[in-house]
Structure 1
Amino acid sequence: MRTQATLQKWGNSIALRLSGNLKSIPQFEEGDVVDIEVSEEGLQIRKAKGKKLTEAELISGLDAYTAHADEMAQPVSKELGY
C-alpha cells in the first residue's frame, strides 16, 4: 500500500496521523508500541517486538536511590498557586 499523509502540528509536536485506509494497516491497532528508525531517507515504523510493559513493570525494582529521589524538585508555594 502506498499513500500520502501530511505532518500536522499537534500541541507542541509534529504528528503523523494514520487515517483513512492507513488506520487499517494489517497487524497494527490502537495502543500498539512501535519502533521508529530515522535515516537520511526518512522514517521506518515497525511494530515493536516483545510485550508492552505496564507502569508497574516499568517502576519495579526502583528504590529512592535508583529513582533519584534525592534530586526531586521542591516546588515553592507560588508554583502551587498559594
Structure 2
Amino acid sequence: MAKLAIDTKIQKWGNSLGLSVSGAIKDIPHFTENTPVKVAIFEDGFIVKKTLQPSDFLPFSEAQLLEEPDAFTSHGELPASPLESEIIE
C-alpha cells in the first residue's frame, strides 16, 4: 500500500526522459544521491525500490570474515546443536 500518491509528469532531460526525485518522493524512502535502486518495468509503468546493501543484512564485512579467528571471534566454546529440520529419524 502506498504511503502517499503524487501526480507528476515525466519530462525531457537532454536526450532522455526523466522524473524528478524530490520532496516526498525522495524523503519517504530516504533516497539520497547515489542510492542504489532496482527498477521493475511493466507495460503500464515501473516501480523503483532501494536495493539492499550487504551492510544492511550481513553483520560482518568480507575482510572481517577473512581475518584469522582468535579466541573471541571463533566462538569455539559454544556447542553446536542441530536444528530440528536437520534431524532425521
TM-score, normalized by length of structure 2?
0.49
The percentage of aligned residue pairs carrying the same residue is: 35
- What amino acid sits opposite 2:43 in the alignment? E
- What amino acid sits opposite 1:23 in the alignment? K
More relative contact order, 1 or 2 (CA 8 Å, 6+ apart): 1
In 2, Cα distance between equivalents of 1:6 and 1:47: 21
In 2, Cα distance between equivalents of 1:26 and 1:5: 17
Structure 2: segments with no counterpart, 5+ residues: 55-89
Matched, 1:22 2:11: no
Who is 1:31 aligned against? Answer: 34
Residue 48 (structure 1) aligned to one of 46, 51, 54: 51
Instruction: Give me the CA root mean square deviation.
Output: 1.7
How far apart are residue 14 of structure 1 and its match? Answer: 0.2
- The number of residue pairs the alignment matches comes to 51
TM-score, normalized by length of structure 1?
0.52
More helix by share: 2
Q: Deviations over 1:4-63 (max 9, x none)?
A: 111011110000112233231233222201100101231011101225xxxxxxxxxxxx
